[in-house]
Amino acid sequence: MPDYKWPEAPKRTWIGKRVSRLDGPDKVSGRAKYTYDIKRPGMLYGKILRSPYPHAKIVSIDTSAAEKMTGVMAVKVIQGAGKEIQWAGDEIAAVAAVDEPTAEDAIRAIKVEYEQMPHQVVDTDPKVAEAKPPVEETKGDPEKAFKEADVVSEGFYGSNVMTHCCLETHGSISEWDGDKLLVHISTQAVSGIAGQMANAIKTVPASNIHVKMDHVGGGFGSKFGPDRWGIETALISKMAGGKPVKIMLERNAEQAVAGSRPSAYAKVKLAAKRDGTLLAWQSEAWGSGGPGGGGQPPLPYVFVFPNHKKQHIAIANNVGPSRAWRAPNHPQAALITMGALDDLAAKLNMDPLDFFLKNIAMTGQRAENYREELLKGAELIQWKKNWHSRGDKAAGPVKRGLGLSLHTWGGRGHESNCDLTIQPDGSVEVKMGTQDLGVGTRTALAIVAADTLGLPLDAIRVRIGDNDYPASGGSGGSTTIGGVSSSTRRAAVDARDALFAKVAPVLNAKPEELEAVGGTIRVAGTPARSLTWKQACAKLGGMPLTVRGKQLANQSDLTNSGVGGIQMADVSVDTETGIVKINKIVAVQDCGLIINLKLSESQCYGALIMGISYALYEEKVVDRNTGLMLNPNMEFYRLAGSGDIGELVVHMMTGPGYDDRGVIGLGEPPVISPGAVISNAIANAIGVRVSTMPFTPDRVLKALEQKGGSNASV
């Protein structure tokens, strides 16, 4: 039985080191080609006509004028007369033309008559909305616990709908060669697209669909499917004689229909003993993610209460549907739970660090990791020196405060297949139908293969982004790094062992006595009895050596599930302007065995920045009267800029107790807590909870006003 297990720390040459991303030079030089950059011979440009109404019936549609326009090659109705539209921006018709301006002109020439219907876009109050029946759950005896409690704390916490705002909008290019379809697509699931497209198109088997993508300009959970506009590229390409048709969404469509994170609001009541022991949780929560109603945040988050009673109401409304947003439902759950716990700590007059540590056993089997991480974070932000009780008593309008939160995620590796080929000339190639969302997938494959084969990184040629390569899972749920590194490890170990078997006789040794180190194959610990890598590979004879590494779903010898992390924020709030400024955020995170420390830290920095962005700025504003998104752009849908982020400190937990768990995903966990830590730090600074995220100046000022003004004693 081959020994696949990860090498011990002293034997790792690349794994866990700080390695620059291998495709970095392509990206900084503009050479990296994204779907948006691909130009195929004879390519046509497609555009989509979208509904201007949030709820309407299509009475008639007239495409004749568009069809007659010079340069227009195909016009197709997607949803015709009689169809009921459920959200503004839904797809009505598609065109393909020789260039983008002509396609835009053609879209404008299509005449649609709509019968408007009553719409509902509100999600802030379940009473005025069309809601599904509540989902309820009770555990233990919460009623008794609330009666016997020394302290009961109540609060309201909310998170608005926000968007994914991928910089590369969704889109694809389809072209037919006879009965074969070639698709370039901006996706998180290179191996999963063909099957989905075949299901939708129905006339082409998935095995005839070739999917390619070298680079993707952001996904964050919104790019798993081909989407209706992607299916249309294939259908209108067929109408245009198979010519390539490219549709990339306009920015306004990207913001309005191609990704949103559901809202979540909750009234929470907590019961505790005077010494801070938590007794019971009660919550009434609701939220919306469009027609489907949105997700249900896992409440209470991380902490398992002996008694709880909770209710969730999903509101269906006429807003573009939600998609998985990086750690679906967890950021909302963290904001609600950590905010409620922080308010309870304030009511008990306890330092929340002490309060969280006192109840840390309620986080379950990873309690000791959380304790270790909280203490590390406290050291990095100098919690004990800088913390004050709720409400900064310092003079002046600018108040400063600290907040903390903790989070959890799964992250077990997905199913993955890897082909590794060693050529007789010594060159090595790794092939996999995976994708690099910017997390460094290519680099990870090279690191694992090079580490296993004792080679430099540039000796490994990595090929990904093509469904002709062995299938590997979609990049969701932080499952990629565990899956792809495990399948690569298995392939590399098998290839290395096969090579050992070939060269063992030459070295007068048994295969199991050999090791691959520093570009040589040698008898373990005996440099004198060695072959260079090239000499060893020459023994393969005429045939290259190809092996398939298979990582199965739920196989857990190389990957694992369940990570924790804590974050702490230091913010300043100007009580005259309501502006929140980030001074510092500390993230302490574990993710098992780290493949590339540099890029792991990048993931955490990036998650903190995205978190600051959603906590302070991002909101999908939908007009109650027209049902339209009012800020489907990047001027009024604001992202954090480089000057908005303060000082960020990332500490990765590594070493014994962490490395030996195997490789676990990291993309999602560090983006969960930023909203909660900023919310708690604001409350600590100004002495009152700003209930709803993003914490914009108007909301901060309103909360201060409800408290009695910025100068009121706290």
Residues that bind another protein (CB under 8 A): 20-21, 23-25, 27-34, 36-37, 39, 99-101, 165-169, 215-218, 220, 250-251, 437-439, 598-599, 601-602, 605-610, 613, 633-635, 639-643, 645, 648
Shortest Cβ distance from residue 541 to another protein (Å)?
37
Shortest Cβ distance from residue 213 to another protein (Å)?
12
- Amino acid code (one letter) for 242: G
- Amino acid code (one letter) for 103: A
Q: Which pair of structure tokens corresponds to residue 565?
A: 């992390």
Torsion of CA 30, 458, 654, 381, to 10 degrees: -30
Shortest Cβ distance from residue 167 to another protein (Å)?
4
Shortest Cβ distance from residue 634 to another protein (Å)?
4
Return the number of the residue (168 or 392) whose C-beta is nearest another protein: 168
Question: What is the distance between the alpha carbons of residues 454 and 568, in angstroms, rounded to a whole number?
Answer: 40
Shortest Cβ distance from residue 487 to another protein (Å)?
23
Centre a 10 Å sphere on the Cβ of residue 49 and count the other Cβ atoms it contains: 23
Return the number of the residue (99 or 150) whose C-beta is nearest another protein: 99
Shortest Cβ distance from residue 26 to another protein (Å)?
8
Is residue 596 within 8 A of residue 447, CB to CB? The reply is yes
What distances in angstroms separate CA 159 from CA 333, 374, 454, 568, 695, one per listed residue? 10, 25, 49, 19, 10
Return the number of the residue (86 or 186) whose C-beta is nearest another protein: 186
Question: What is the distance between the alpha carbons of residues 54 and 497, in angstroms, rounded to a whole number?
Answer: 61
Return the number of the residue (416 or 600) whose C-beta is nearest another protein: 600
Return the number of the residue (32 or 380) whose C-beta is nearest another protein: 32
What distances in angstroms separate CA 351 from CA 30, 112, 345, 384, 402, one per listed residue? 50, 61, 7, 9, 10
Question: What is the distance between the alpha carbons of residues 451 and 495, in angstroms, rounded to a whole number?
Answer: 13
The residue whose two tokens read 């616990």 is: 145
Shortest Cβ distance from residue 372 to another protein (Å)?
24
Strand order in the sheet with 563-574: 398-409, 563-574, 580-590, 647-653
Of 613, 611, 591, 616, residue with least CA distance to 601: 591
As beta bridge partners, residue 154 has: 269
Shortest Cβ distance from residue 37 to another protein (Å)?
4
Return the number of the residue (29 or 508) whose C-beta is nearest another protein: 29
Return the number of the residue (275 or 635) whose C-beta is nearest another protein: 635
Question: What is the distance between the alpha carbons of residues 274 and 565, in angstroms, rounded to a whole number?
Answer: 28
Question: What is the distance between the alpha carbons of residues 36 and 215, in angstroms, rounded to a whole number?
Answer: 10
Return the number of the residue (399 or 407) whose C-beta is nearest another protein: 407
Q: Using H for helix, E for strand and C for coil, what is the string for 296-328? A: CCCCCCCCCCCEEEEEEEEECCCCCCCCCCCCC
Question: What is the distance between the alpha carbons of residues 280 and 544, in angstroms, rounded to a whole number?
Answer: 64
Phi-psi region of 168 (alpha: psi -120 to 50; beta: other; left: phi over 0): beta
- Amino acid code (one letter) for 525: G
Cis omega (within 30 of 0) for bond into 126:
no
Shortest Cβ distance from residue 598 to another protein (Å)?
6
Shortest Cβ distance from residue 195 to another protein (Å)?
25
Return the number of the residue (31 or 147) whose C-beta is nearest another protein: 31
Return the number of the residue (36 or 156) whose C-beta is nearest another protein: 36
Shortest Cβ distance from residue 18 to another protein (Å)?
9
Is residue 659 within 8 A of residue 598, CB to CB? The reply is no
Is residue 156 within 8 A of residue 264, CB to CB? The reply is no
Question: What is the distance between the alpha carbons of residues 420 and 423, in angstroms, rounded to a whole number?
Answer: 10
Shortest Cβ distance from residue 24 to another protein (Å)?
4
- Amino acid code (one letter) for 569: A
Return the number of the residue (156 or 605) whose C-beta is nearest another protein: 605
Return the number of the residue (123 or 214) whose C-beta is nearest another protein: 214
Task: Give the list of residues 6+ apart from residue 581 with CB closer than 8 angstroms, or none.
Answer: 571, 572, 573, 574, 646
Q: Which pair of structure tokens corresponds to residue 489?
A: 């490890």
Shortest Cβ distance from residue 577 to another protein (Å)?
13
Return the number of the residue (463 or 598) whose C-beta is nearest another protein: 598
Return the number of the residue (14 or 286) whose C-beta is nearest another protein: 14
Return the number of the residue (225 or 674) whose C-beta is nearest another protein: 674
Taking CB atoms within 8 Å and a gap of at least 24, the contacts of 449-453 are 449/420, 449/488, 449/491, 449/492, 450/13, 450/14, 451/7, 451/12, 451/13, 451/14, 451/15, 452/489, 452/492, 452/493, 452/496, 452/516, 453/422, 453/428, 453/492, 453/495, 453/496, 453/516, 453/533
Shortest Cβ distance from residue 443 to another protein (Å)?
10
Shortest Cβ distance from residue 435 to another protein (Å)?
11
